[in-house]
Amino acid sequence: MMNIARYSPLSTTSPLDDVFDNFFQGFLRPVRWEGGQQAAANPIKLDVMDNQNAYLVHAEIPGVKKEDIQVTIDGNQLAISAEINQQYEEKDKNKILRTERYYGKMFRSIVLPQDVDEGGAKAKYNAGVLELTLPKKETSTAKKLTVQ
């Protein structure tokens, strides 16, 4: 005689537990919205241009003070990081109806095709866009040795 058992895909003995857990993990995670746009930090968006003498980098970092931006150059690696502190509050006669805050750090790192001359590098921040001028380092020419 066969026993009939009710199948439950979410039971602790089911091998499908991990599949369902992974599928729904973070599915209903809260999202912050501010003025119709997501307030959570997006990665730093970059435009990198190469002219003959330097790399020109435009990094989009809106809502950040220039004092909170760090740029690091190590050979041909460029790293940009920024501290974010966004606050939004709605008040009605000393009674807070809604408050939204976001604190965090943005970071972006890229590798350039050629080493950068750190001494001649320049940075300017205006209207949420960081403009970097990164002069290329002189490439050393290969020296041919004669074998004696």
- Confidence label for 7 from pLDDT (cuts 50, 70 and 90): low
**CB neighbour list of residue 83: distance below 8 Å, 6 or more residues apart:** 64, 68, 104, 105
- The mean pLDDT of the chain is 77
Residue 55 is which amino acid?
Y
Please report whether residue 120 resides in a domain.
Answer: yes
Does any domain span residue 16?
no
In a domain, residue 11? The reply is no
Interval 29-39 mean pLDDT:
44
- Is the pLDDT score of 56 beyond 80? yes
Domain carrying residue 49: 42-135
Total number of domains constituting the chain:
1
pLDDT tens digit string along 68-121? Answer: 999 999 999 999 999 987 766 666 677 776 767 777 888 999 999 999 999 999
pTM equals 0.60
Q: Which two tokens stand for residue 102?
A: 């976001």
Q: What is the CATH number of the domain that holds 127?
A: 2.60.40.790
In total, the chain counts a number of residues equal to: 148
Q: What Å distances lie between residue 22 and 18, 30, 31, CA to CA?
A: 6, 17, 19
Phi, psi (deg, nearest 5) at residue 21: -60, -45
The token duo for 8 is 């439950």
